[in-house]
Amino acid sequence: MGRQGLLVSFVAGCLWCLLSWLPFSQAEALTPIKLYDLSYEKCPAEMQGIVTSGSNRDANCFLIKGKAKNATNKFIVDADVFGRIYDGNGSPTFENRGRVGTIMEVPPGESDFEIPVSVAANQPEPLQLKQFKASGFTSQVRPFYYDNDDI
């Protein structure tokens, strides 16, 4: 290896060393959030029609409610909620889909949350809510979710 090769290797090594000391964005790390005390109720009249099934079939709007426990001392945003929702016959309401929604903000400690979901009108109640969990970030990762004043 010639003089130029040694110089390039040295500079590359120095850059790698310097960059390895820079902190990574905290948004890259997912933070788990425990969800419990789950229940559901029909959406208020003003929300009916806002949440749709993604097709032209009739759908019922429900609010899934519960408690979220953020065990960190950090404010969590953009928490994706995953779970299984079954109808009164034990049939899945979201075929091939585990993500049911997003909790925009989860402060440290325990807090209440609610997520609107739509279920095909031909699926009977009572709904069964199973295996719910969430994970989020310590900074905004989806700017299109926020008003321009929030960014």
Look at 139 and 89; give whichever has higher pLDDT.
89
Q: Which residues contact 32 (CB under 8 A, 6 or more apart)?
A: 133, 134, 135
User: Confidence band (pLDDT; 50, 70, 90) for 141?
Assistant: low
User: How many percent of the chain have pLDDT more than 90?
Assistant: 48
Entry pTM: 0.69
More confident residue, 149 or 101: 101
Lowest mean pLDDT among 12-26, 46-60, 73-87, 132-146: 12-26
Mean per-residue pLDDT, 6-12: 66
User: Which range scores top for mean pLDDT: 5-14, 27-36, 124-133?
Assistant: 124-133
**150 pLDDT above the threshold of 50:** no
Query: Rounded distance, CA 81 to CA 119, Å?
Result: 16
pLDDT over 50 (residue 26):
no
Q: Which of 126, 122, 57 is nearest to 87 (CA)?
A: 126
Three-state SS letters, 38-94: EEEEECCHHHCCCCCCCCCCCEEEEEEEEEEEECCCCCEEEEEEEEEEECCCCCECC
Per-residue pLDDT band for 53 (boundaries 50, 70, 90) equals very low
Asked if residue 51 lies in contact with residue 64, where contact means CB atoms within 8 angstroms, the answer is: no
Integer Cα distance of 92 and 84 in angstroms: 7
Radius of gyration of the chain (CA): 22
